[in-house]
Amino acid sequence: HKKVAILLSGGGSNMVALLDSMTGDHPARASLVMSNDSEAGGLKKAAARGIATAAVDHRPFKGDRATFEAELIKPLIAAEPDIVCLAGFMRVLTADFVTQFQGRMLNIHPSLLPKYKGLHTHARALEAGDAHHGCTVHEVTAALDDGPILGQATVDVLPEDTPDLLAARVLKKEHMLYPAVLRRFAQGDRTPILLS
């Protein structure tokens, strides 16, 4: 099996979707779930599923990304991942860090990239009056929320939508898209997946 490490900062619903998908004839298995926050709900969910976890809190490093990443990478390297999945990991990674996993690190972002890189994607899509919104899985490169697109899933924006309502519908699509892309990627296939 290919080894997958998953990095998260929050509740980890995408991480759970990825873990639940890696059974049977799936070519990959999770070897580590990591967070920049030892209190992240996702860590408990991973541990409950028997997956090794690690946390390196970013706060003591007070914005010194290089030193934070030097610690973050230790358990990550020890897990010998073939693939690293960012799943709601909310720290920006430096080019130095990303380069070490170039071509084998994936991210899920809650917008139809290249639209709405960064934060508050659902509010920004509503504000713009977009008819469609969604999520993207892409290869991580040094540029934020950039890199080759491996899959996208679309939702219709509804008249009564709020950022929270829209986020919830997009999140359901994330849980379908990310496992589909990971399976294909683990088989060495980078053909983009389009879901609607």
Can you give the binding site for ligand GAR, defined by CB under 6 A?
8, 10-14, 42, 87-88, 90, 108-110, 135, 171, 174
Strand bridging mode 28-35 / 53-55: parallel
CB of 150 to ligand GAR, least distance (A): 14
- Partner residues linked to 139 by β-bridges: 106
Q: How far is the CB of 75 from ligand GAR (least distance, A)?
A: 19
* Cβ nearer to ligand GAR, comparing 25 with 178: 178
User: What is the smallest separation between the CB atom of 140 and ligand GAR, expressed in angstroms?
Assistant: 11
Query: Least distance in Å: CB of 118 to ligand GAR?
Result: 7
Task: Give me the residue whose beta carbon is nearest to ligand GAR.
Answer: 88
Q: Is 104 annotated as a binding residue?
A: no
Amino acid 181 reads V
Q: Which two tokens stand for residue 98?
A: 């990303």
- SS3 label, residue 170: helix
- Please tell me the total number of residues recorded for the chain in this structure: 196
35 marked as part of a ligand binding site: no
65: annotated binding-site residue? yes
Q: Where are the beta strands (DSSP E) in the chain?
A: 2-8, 28-35, 53-55, 83-86, 105-109, 132-139, 149-156, 193-195
Q: Which residue has the tokens 């008249």?
A: 159
Flag whether 111 is marked binding: no
Task: Confirm or deny that 36 is annotated as ligand binding.
Answer: no
Cβ–Cβ < 8 Å for 164, 125 = no
Q: Report the largest interatomic distance among the alpha carbons of the chain, rounded to a whole angstrom.
A: 49
CA 92 vs. chain centroid, Å, equals 12
Cα–Cα distance, 53 to 72 (Å, whole number): 12
Catalytic annotation, residues: 109
Binding residues: 12-14, 65, 107
Binding residues for (6R)-10-formyltetrahydrofolate: 65, 107
